[in-house]
Amino acid sequence: MATGHVKDKLIEHCRGGLPAEQSRAIAEHLIACPDCRVSYDETRLTVSALSSLKPVEAPQDLWRRVEARLPSEQRSDQSSSRRFQMVLAAAAVLAAVIGLVWYLNAHKSPDQRLAQNREELTTPAPLPTTVTPEITPTPAARSGSRLPSLEVHSLDGAPLLAQSRLEGRGRLQVGEWLETDSSARAQINIADIGKVEVEPNSRIGLINTRESEHRLKLVRGRIQAQVTAPPRIFVIETPAATAVDLGCAYVLDVDESGSGLLRVTSGYVLLEDKGRESFVPAGAACETRPEGPGVPYFEKSSEGFKKALRAYSSGDRSALKSLLTSAERHDTLSLWHLLPRVNGEDRAQVYDRMAELYGPPGDCTREGLLKLDRRMLEEYRKRLAWVW
């Protein structure tokens, strides 16, 4: 039995943080000491109450807000020079490095590998066409990870998972890259909500995976995604836009410049970047460009309409007339997206043609829509969705 009072140990006793022998002594003391027992009852209450507090998930857009306030990136000549020197040094000791990398890869922690794989996201490194690492990570090297990860398996050829050849199945951890060359394909299983097939010549990284959000970044190449999950659970970032899954299947291409094309085969995808949003339904496509998501269009639209849309989006205002005359009812998808992106007389013409093809709901006015009233735009979009 504890000889003195035990009040100062009660918090840890109630939290189960004391050695068994000490806890037993305190319990025996409590039976005999009414004074400490009163304190014990109070402490037991508060420990139990505090233990019921739950972790809280941060808002999903927090990174965007933080990133927007970070100082702009600078690439100095010094860093370029240092990188060049590193390349020279690496070439000189290539054979030794391969041996060393193998050794380290087999022995280091997942976090160390994560850091090794950290490369520039904004400027993707070229695929290793000249040297294919002859590295086969041992299962032990990738076990015991505490980082969140997704299952990945090779479909064709030899994809690189965190710079190591992927044989069969592996885990893509947060911060790591999966790369395919011209003959490789791989599949990433997005927990139990879907899969992403990574086509040849692609590079995709895992930013985050948790129950409420799975976020990847495609810097080049093509993926095919099939997801059956509530909206906004699955997100793909590209250099030019972010594709937010609204429960769908789609193909996303990103070229070396970071621009790309999204083609949706079922459901809806929301493309967003730089304050622009593009809703892309099944059967439609949308370009992703450095200035933000483009205007979506249906692939079944006439060639004349698509040509005029391309020209008008590139700044050729004379293409507007052709665009509007060739528009059919389903092309209100493009016209609705154009409305807030054009000004003055062009906006009025776009609206009038759209209303002619499929009018707005009764509580939406021409004036309100031309002033881009958010509620009216959203109501009109919901109505138009019937013909999209």
Whole-number minimum distance, CB 364 to another protein, in Å? 32
> Per CB under 8 A, does 8 bind another protein?
yes
> Per CB under 8 A, does 326 bind another protein?
no
Tell me which DSSP letter residue 57 carries: P
Whole-number minimum distance, CB 98 to another protein, in Å? 20
Q: In the range 349-378, which residues lie near another protein by CB under 8 A?
A: none
Q: Write the interaction track for another protein spanning residues 192-221; mark x where CB under 8 A is met and - where it is not.
A: -------------x-xx--xx---------
Structure tokens at 276: 């622009």
Q: In the range 165-184, which residues lie near another protein by CB under 8 A?
A: 174-175
> Per CB under 8 A, does 101 bind another protein?
no
Instruction: Count the Cβ atoms, other than its own, within 10 Å of residue 375.
Output: 10
CA 118/CA 238 separation, integer angstroms = 17
> Per CB under 8 A, does 126 bind another protein?
no
> Per CB under 8 A, does 51 bind another protein?
yes
Reported for 48-53, long-range contacts at CB under 8 A and 24+ positions apart, including other chains, are: 48/14, 51/15
**Which residue has 């022995």 as its token pair?**
107
- How many chain residues touch another protein (CB under 8 A)? 54
Whole-number minimum distance, CB 282 to another protein, in Å? 30
> Per CB under 8 A, does 72 bind another protein?
no
Write the DSSP assignment of 121-132 as a string of letters.
Answer: SSSPPPP--S--
The four Cα atoms 148, 238, 242, 364 give a dihedral, to 10 degrees, of -170
Candidate list 115, 125, 372, 387; residue touching another protein; CB under 8 A: 115
CA 222/CA 210 separation, integer angstroms = 24
CA 344/CA 218 separation, integer angstroms = 37
Whole-number minimum distance, CB 217 to another protein, in Å? 9
Instruction: Count the Cβ atoms, other than its own, within 10 Å of residue 260.
Output: 25
Whole-number minimum distance, CB 46 to another protein, in Å? 4
Beta bridge partners of 329: none
Residues that bind another protein (CB under 8 A): 8, 11, 14, 27, 30-31, 41-59, 62-63, 65-67, 69-70, 73, 79, 109-112, 114-116, 118-122, 146, 174-175, 205, 207-208, 211-212
